[in-house]
Structures are given as C-alpha cells and as structure tokens.
C-alpha cells in the first residue's frame, strides 16, 4: 500500500461538535503544535467567518509547522477572497453539496446551478494561485452519474484532491450488490473513481452507523491517498473517524511508522481540557481503561506477559497500565499489587506466598468484601494499603 496521509480536521469539523467549549486561538495553536509533533500531514481550519477563526488561522500559518494548512471555505467567491487575505495561505478546501437532497432542500438550486457554482469557485481559487481540495458533501447519497460530471470538472481545473464525504455515515465497506448501490459502496466507489479519473482521493467519514474508521481504512486500502480525521472523533452528531485510531491502524497493519504515537494520549488530553470534551474510559488507545485489567484471568496473563491481552504497550502511545482489585480479581493480581506495595514502601523484593497473613488477606478480599456483596467497586490503592496494614504486612 502506497504511503497514506492524515488530514486532521479537529480544528474545523471538531469545532462543530455540539456542547464543547470554544478554545482560544492560543489553545488551538497548542493543539496544532501537538499535531505537528505527531506528524500529521495536513490540518484543516476555519479562517473566514469569525475573528477567532482568522486569528487562529494566522497564528498557525505564521508558526510554519511542517504540516500543510488548508482553509475551509464554501464554494463562493467571497469566502475565497477573505481566505486570500491570510498571510501565507497556499491552499483551500472548497466544500459544496452534490446530493439531490442537499441541493433541493438546503440550497434550493438545480444540479446545473451547483455545477456552475463549484466550477466558478474552484477556477477563482486556482487563478489566484491556490491549491484546492474539493469536498463533495454527501457524496454517498449523490447520484453517481452527476458526481462523475463533477469529478471530471475537477480534473480539468487541476484540483489536487477530491474528498469523498460520507456526510451522514451511510457508506459501507462492502461491494456493490442489489442492496448496496455504487454511491454507498466505499471500496467500489474509490476504485471506480481512480480507474476513471486522474485525481487523488481523500475519504471523510462520519460515524452515524459506527463505521467511520472501518470505511476510512477500506478507502485507503482501495487507493485513496488521504484520510480526513479528528482527534477523539470530534465533529457533528456522532463525529468522525478518530485520528489516533487511523494512525494506529496504519502503523499496526501497514507499517507506516512515521508518526510519533507516544504523544497520542497527551494530545487527546490537551483537547479534553481545551474543549471540555470527556474521554470515555474505554476509548480505544487513549482511554484510561484501555490498559487496565481487573478480572483474574486477564490480570494473570498480563502479569506473566503483557502481550497476552495488549496489542501494543501503553508506553508506546503515552498511556499507562493499571491492575485493579475488584469482584473478579484472582489471587495473582492481589499478590502482584502486594509485592509492588511492599517494594515501594519497605524495599522488600518479594514476600513468601505461603505467609499466613497473605492467605488471610486474599481470603478477606475475595470472600468477605466482594464475595459477600458488601463491596461492588474496585479497591483504590489507598484502600488496599489500609487492608495490607490491617493484616500487619506493612
């Protein structure tokens, strides 16, 4: 598979997530710095609507990061003129719907009017020296024959990338069938476009049906060059394909090793603080439970060899491993936690497993606390320490 590229839209589509806190330009700059350190290839920004957007865009353009910066605009001359006032701007992402439901109910225009509007906006941007990504909004519900006329026009105007937008997440990673038309079949659509037109493709997948990451990876596997993503999957409604997930899939399955994944967890925590967005504990890669083990079988396996239940190390993505003592915990994890505690507090490397106090401690935790139903939640480290003291082990 040819080298693939990440186009992060946290500071554009992510800003459209309902209920978040709007970060300051400086906070957005910090997020951009982390994205640059991770090694994403491009980021997408608003830059023409509000002062905060313009200030953010100019700060990031002035910082001269390694990634490319695309300013998101609508398909109208005014937006592009305003984008051109940004110092250092080199490219825009021009967005316009191509599905009939959007043209009729949102814009109240015909296909021909949409075609002309898209054409004129792109031509204006190209005439002013800008590189163009064109975003075919609602591509997966667009008429295929009409979409092809749009793509043909893009190639004639030398648009660099066509973004296939699965705007409401109805695309599927399956081949065309009586139930799946070409517009919704991600693999067949990507192949068909690349087999007909000479243009790079980007896939922008929403997660309304939970398929955003899968569809993104399928699009890349079938020839798309770019993946549009957001940190933590931020975005409208159910959000987008997560930057951290797509990066880890590229590394894990395709050995695309250029990214500094040790910053993934930290970067998502920065976003969490700046935008007041909760990170679910079971969020893949960056959630606090991803490397947390509590059940007896899993904990015993991880103690012997972490690879038994971890596909990659927590350190590699800036996360941490935790072992908890809870209702399903076995003797192994209790002994492991005990030896850790004794080593840290008393310098004892390992206590004799046959010590009667240990047997009493294990029995108390498993039967008196959890087995009896008195305790329902895992023990905190402080609570475990008090139990160890109660049994005169420290």
When pLDDT is averaged across residues 277-294 and rounded to a whole number, the result is: 98
**% of the chain beyond a pLDDT of 70:** 100
Average predicted confidence (pLDDT) for the chain = 96
Q: Do 142 and 11 share a structural domain? A: yes
Q: Do 94 and 67 share a structural domain? A: yes
Q: Do 205 and 307 share a structural domain? A: no
The residue range of the domain holding 108 is: 5-275
Is residue 120 in some structural domain?
yes
Q: Given this model, what pLDDT does residue 49 score? A: 85
Q: Given this model, what pLDDT does residue 344 score? A: 81
Q: Given this model, what pLDDT does residue 392 score? A: 79
CATH for 156: 3.20.20.70
* pLDDT over 80 at 5, yes or no: yes
Q: Are 41 and 68 in contact (CB under 8 A)?
A: yes
Cα gap 237→250, rounded to integer Å: 26
Domain's final residue, options 275, 308, 329: 275
Domain's final residue, options 247, 275, 303: 275
- 149-163 tens-digit pLDDT: 999 999 999 999 999
When pLDDT is averaged across residues 309-320 and rounded to a whole number, the result is: 98
Lowest-confidence segment of 22-36, 133-147, 217-231, 372-386 by average pLDDT: 372-386
Q: Do 299 and 266 share a structural domain? A: no
* pLDDT over 90 at 171, yes or no: yes
Q: Do 241 and 359 share a structural domain? A: no
Is residue 283 in some structural domain?
no
Q: Given this model, what pLDDT does residue 348 score? A: 74
Domain's final residue, options 275, 305, 336: 275
Q: Do 228 and 195 share a structural domain? A: yes
Q: Do 383 and 238 share a structural domain? A: no
Helical H segments across 46-183, by residue range: 51-63, 77-84, 100-102, 111-127, 144-156
Q: Are 227 and 216 in contact (CB under 8 A)?
A: yes
Q: Given this model, what pLDDT does residue 240 score? A: 99
Structural domains of the chain, count: 2
């Amino acid at each position: 598979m040819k080298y693939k590229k990440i186009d992060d839209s946290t500071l554009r589509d992510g800003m459209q997530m309902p209920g978040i806190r709007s970060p300051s330009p400086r906070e957005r700059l910090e997020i951009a710095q982390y994205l640059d350190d991770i090694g994403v290839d491009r980021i997408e920004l608003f830059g023409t609507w509000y002062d905060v957007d313009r200030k953010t865009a100019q700060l990031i353009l002035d910082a001269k990061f390694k990634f490319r910066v695309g300013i998101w605009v609508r398909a109208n001359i005014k937006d592009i003129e305003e984008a051109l006032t940004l110092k250092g701007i080199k490219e825009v992402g021009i967005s316009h719907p191509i599905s009939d439901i959007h043209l009729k109910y949102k814009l109240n225009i015909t296909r021909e009017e949409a075609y002309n509007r898209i054409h004129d906006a792109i031509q204006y941007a190209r005439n002013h020296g800008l590189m163009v990504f064109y975003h075919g909004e609602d591509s997966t519900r667009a008429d295929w024959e009409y979409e092809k006329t749009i793509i043909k026009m893009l190639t004639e105007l030398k648009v660099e990338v066509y973004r296939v937008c699965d705007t409401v997440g109805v695309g599927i990673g399956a081949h065309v069938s009586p139930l799946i038309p070409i517009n919704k079949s991600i693999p067949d659509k990507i192949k068909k476009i690349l087999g007909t037109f000479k243009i790079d493709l980007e896939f922008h997948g929403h997660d309304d049906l939970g398929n955003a990451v899968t569809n993104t990876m399928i699009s890349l596997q079938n020839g798309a060059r770019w993946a549009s993503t957001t940190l933590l999957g931020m975005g409208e409604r159910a959000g987008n394909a997560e930057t951290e997930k797509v990066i880890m899939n590229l590394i894990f399955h395709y050995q695309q090793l250029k990214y500094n994944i040790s910053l993934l967890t930290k970067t998502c925590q920065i976003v969490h603080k700046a935008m007041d967005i909760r990170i679910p504990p079971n969020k893949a890669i960056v959630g606090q439970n991803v490397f947390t083990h509590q059940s007896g079988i899993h904990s015993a396996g991880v103690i012997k060899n972490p690879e038994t239940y971890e596909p990659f190390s927590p350190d590699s993505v800036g996360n941490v491993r935790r072992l908890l003592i809870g209702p399903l915990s076995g003797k192994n994890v209790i002994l492991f936690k005990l030896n850790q505690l004794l080593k840290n507090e008393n310098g004892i490397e390992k206590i004799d497993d046959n010590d009667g106090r240990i047997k009493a401690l294990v029995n108390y935790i498993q039967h008196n606390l959890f087995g009896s139903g008195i305790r329902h939640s895992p023990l905190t480290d402080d609570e475990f320490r008090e139990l160890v003291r109660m049994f005169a082990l420290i």
